[in-house]
Amino acid sequence: MEGFKALGLSYKNAPIDIREKVAFNEEEAGQFLLKLKDIFSIEEALLVSTCNRTELYYTSNDQLHDEIISLMASSKMIPSDTLSAYFQSYNSSSASQHLFRVALGLESQVLGDIQISNQVKRAYQQSADMNLAGPHLHRLMHTIFFANKRVVQETSLQDGTASVASVAVDLIGGFIRNIEQPRIALIGLGEIGQNVLENLNSNETNITLVNRTKSKAVKLAEGKNIKVSDFNSLDKVIADNDVIISAVSGTKPVISATNLGKDSIHKLLIDLSVPRSMDVDLENIPGISLYNVDQLTERTVKARKVRERAIPNAEKIIEEELLNFSKWKNEMEVSPTIQKLKNALDQIRREELARHKKLSEEEMELLEVVTKSMIQKVIKLPVLQLKAACKRGEADTLVGVLNDLFNLESAEVEKK
């Protein structure tokens, strides 16, 4: 569909302070989609918003990129000229291809990221719930889901653990496996801290967020089963939790042996900060397991290399499924012509039958069956030729010929 478009920004071209400004939670996304629908009469739209990207996919015959950026800036109460330089736009097939790559993790900061596929699914569900997913978007999304299934089954793009955040979560999972009602504290909610939070399952664990700017922690915890604590209460936070993850920026450690207290006999400490925010001497305390970012990074190197080798195969799957989607799209574009041709021939059939009023009811029923069968046989070859022309990219020519031969446009107008 030529009217399918996309625009957005990501970690590739926008710093985190910009990405934070245009991030949408589920409720905000719904409100923004409603504005798009009301203001621009957009019938199909998909808004994907994560800590690494905010992208809008929509269907319109008009080029609305500038207007949408202005609306987004207005919704977030920031100057539009602050955003416009960071947005990239895509049209037609390039928009579809970009959505494939995003949903399959080829555009993710963590190559093959599993989380992005789930995030795209949730965004699609929201669009469907708001009646903003028409035939084009429905078909495109289900083709993408099928492609993702093939990537999982046929490639190693999602094998292993390829990010520091996911390695940290794996470590946590192993540590808390035998702890009843485990408690986890996440200190520092910058990009790395948020990545860890996205990977943690808050339904199975008791999570506490701590940040120098408490309002940010409150916002991230909103609507979730997550607690928030003050940064100046670190001693109590550390004492109350089994796992402490620190992603705090600074020039010196904020957590040392003095913060642990005498009862800290079995804890997992994960320091994701550079410079380090946990004193290295903590690893000498019995019962304390301390990991730093370099140790976690070592675990990701092998997985990343395996995933990188899978890129060509994943891109081949995308190419194949995009071709299948393109075939469907082309057939959809000629389906109105096929329907008009069927209507035109059926109109001729009914007019001819109407001329023979002396026929009995039984004879008329027989003629109905015979003439309908004839029409089906007559139309079969043009339909097959149209579909074949779609595959060759020559459908427009044949559509024009059929329109001229059967005067389909005029016949449709007269019918109305």
Between residues 365 and 392, which one has the greater pLDDT?
365
**DSSP-based helix, strand, coil % in the chain, nearest 5:** 60, 15, 30
Weakest mean pLDDT among 142-146, 226-230, 297-301: 297-301
Residues 6+ apart with CB under 8 A from 394: none
Instruction: Give the residue from 67, 99, 148 showing the smallest Cα distance to 317.
Output: 148
pLDDT tier at 25, thresholds 50, 70, 90: confident
pLDDT at 399: 67
Q: Which residues are catalytic?
A: 51
Which tokens is 142 given? 């289900």
Neighbours of 109 (CB within 10 A): 18
pLDDT at 413: 42
Whole-model pTM: value is 0.68
Between residues 46 and 401, which one has the greater pLDDT?
46
Mean pLDDT, to the nearest integer, of 55-80?
Answer: 93
pLDDT tens-place string over residues 78-111: 988 888 899 999 998 899 999 999 999 999 888 8
The SS3 of residue 246 is strand
What's at 352, amino acid-wise?
Answer: E
The CATH T-level fold of domain 4-159 is Beta Polymerase; domain 2 (3.30.460)
pLDDT tier at 250, thresholds 50, 70, 90: confident
Which tokens is 263 given? 């009862």
CA 356, 357, 359, 362 dihedral sign is positive
Round to whole Å and give the CA distance between 214 and 343: 66
pLDDT tier at 150, thresholds 50, 70, 90: very high
pLDDT tens-place string over residues 110-144: 889 888 898 999 999 999 999 999 989 999 999 99
pLDDT tier at 401, thresholds 50, 70, 90: low
Round to whole Å and give the CA distance between 309 and 307: 5
Round to whole Å and give the CA distance between 340 and 408: 6
- What residue spans define the domains of the chain? 4-159, 164-301, 334-415
CATH class of 164-301: alpha beta
Round to whole Å and give the CA distance between 89 and 55: 9
Round to whole Å and give the CA distance between 134 and 45: 9
Is pLDDT at 193 greater than 60 in this prediction?
Answer: yes
Kindly provide the residue ranges of all beta strands, DSSP E only, lying in 74-205, ordered along the sequence: 88-91, 183-187
Which tokens is 350 given? 């009914």
Please give the DSSP secondary-structure letter assigned to residue 64: -
Instruction: Give the residue from 106, 311, 123 showing the smallest Cα distance to 114.
Output: 106
